[in-house]
Amino acid sequence: MPDRMIKLIISLLIVTSCSGAAERSDETTGQPEATEAIITGADQVESYVPYLMGKRVGMVINQTSIIGDQLSVDSLLALGVDIKAIFGPEHGFRQNASNGAAVGDEIDPQTGIPIVSLYGKNRKPSQTQMEALDVMVFDVQDVGCRFYTYINTLADIMEACAEYGKKLVILDRPNPNGFVDGPVLDMQFKSGIGKFPIPVAHGMTMGEFARMLNGEGWLANGIQCDINVIPIKNYTHDLYYELPVPPSPNLNTQASIILYPSLCLFEGTIISQGRGTYMPFTVLGAPALKGQYDFSFKPVSIPGMSEAPLHQGKMCYGIDLRDYDIKRLHASGRINLQWMLEFYKAFPEKERFFDSSQSPAMGRIEALIGNNVFKKQVMDGLSEEEIRKSWEPGLSDYKEMRKQYLLYK
């Protein structure tokens, strides 16, 4: 494609690609004011497309990987970028797999490009796959939580790029939960939902987290990945940002995304978070709470979202948070522990509360919260502030360490 045509197409993309702006502050929530629209790394095509031209490109992407309102793979193909392979994280490239479900390799019917699953038999590309590429592009929307697996995929890709001498271009996107909170992971509870010594809410974008992975030597054998982060324009961590595309099947609303750091902890309990409904991570309940709460919902099997949810086919009684003031929660910069304390107090069979064996989604509370003391703290009736005090000095130490890797205020 002639250089003149490339510049023309890039110009058109720039005009149409401004992302959703962060909302202005108000006296009620105290949200900071954004004076200009947020522009994601992907939207800044002029900053990275010239580098990709003439190279064999691999892309780690899913349905959140957009330029303007179009999938980035389509936009880049139109520009003449030679995309050789797509690598899909958990839920797959087209987001048609449930949480935790293995995803197989396939050919994308819309582009004919091979799709390699990074959430099936392999967690990172093979030597053969990497040798067929000159550069890798990473563009996946994260939600800022330790147990959200996209940061694990980022680490795996960085290791593969480092091992085979490939550069990684990271198209950065805002973290909708940009605060830092929760206990730092005790590494004896390291798992697939917690691989690094970071808090529950780590307060970093993917680009910043990649810098931390390199800087702290957290990649296998301390190897270093050659990264180029295309930073977000007009973004700060405390801005309230509405995602233009749901990041995964069970985070299908802005409310679910903002409530996720608080409600996902219930995956380690007998309390349903609404998997098996079309309102996941905005409701809480269990059959045993009948008579204590008026609100009810019934989880059912929903292909592509939750095939075998906790309490399937049973009426659950609890609370509806769909109209909760999520902007105020976001502005607080805190995980809400009051719901956990409330539901433990209300649950009639205390010995069953932390039984997560019926839930196929995540696992034990220890793996989710990152230590073996939180469960006892809740059972012993400690207050939220008493629990928070136990997160120190680890949380403050993490915040100090984090500063050197930040790209945004």
Q: What's the pLDDT tens digit per position in 57-111?
A: 999 999 999 999 999 999 999 999 999 999 987 655 654 444 444 556 778 888 8
Sheet with 283-286, edge to edge strand ranges = 283-286, 316-320, 295-297
Cα separation, 190 vs 188, whole angstroms:
6
Phi, psi of 25 (to 5 degrees): -75, 160
Cα separation, 180 vs 406, whole angstroms:
13
pLDDT bin (cut points 50, 70, 90) of residue 222 is very high
User: Comparing 1-5, 75-79, 322-326, which segment has the lowest mean pLDDT?
Assistant: 1-5
pLDDT higher at 169 or 24 = 169
Q: What's the pLDDT tens digit per position in 281-301?
A: 999 999 999 999 999 999 999
Domains in the chain (CATH in brackets) are 40-230 (3.40.50.12170), 254-372 (no CATH)
**What are the helix (H) ranges across 241-308?**
254-263
Q: What's the pLDDT tens digit per position in 344-357?
A: 999 999 999 998 76
Place of tokens 């392999």: 122
Question: 117: closest CA among 89, 94, 98, 150?
Answer: 89
pLDDT at 34: 54
Is the pLDDT score of 338 beyond 50? yes
Is the pLDDT score of 274 beyond 80? yes
Q: What's the pLDDT tens digit per position in 131-141?
A: 999 999 999 99
pLDDT higher at 89 or 12 = 89
Give the list of residues 6+ apart from residue 190 with CB closer than 8 angstroms, or none.
none
DSSP 389: H
Cα separation, 213 vs 230, whole angstroms:
17
pLDDT bin (cut points 50, 70, 90) of residue 231 is very high
Is the pLDDT score of 176 beyond 60? yes
pLDDT at 16: 45
Q: What's the pLDDT tens digit per position in 234-247?
A: 999 999 999 999 99
Q: What's the pLDDT tens digit per position in 37-61?
A: 999 999 999 999 999 999 999 999 9
Q: What's the pLDDT tens digit per position in 99-121?
A: 444 556 778 888 899 999 887 77
Is the pLDDT score of 183 beyond 60? yes
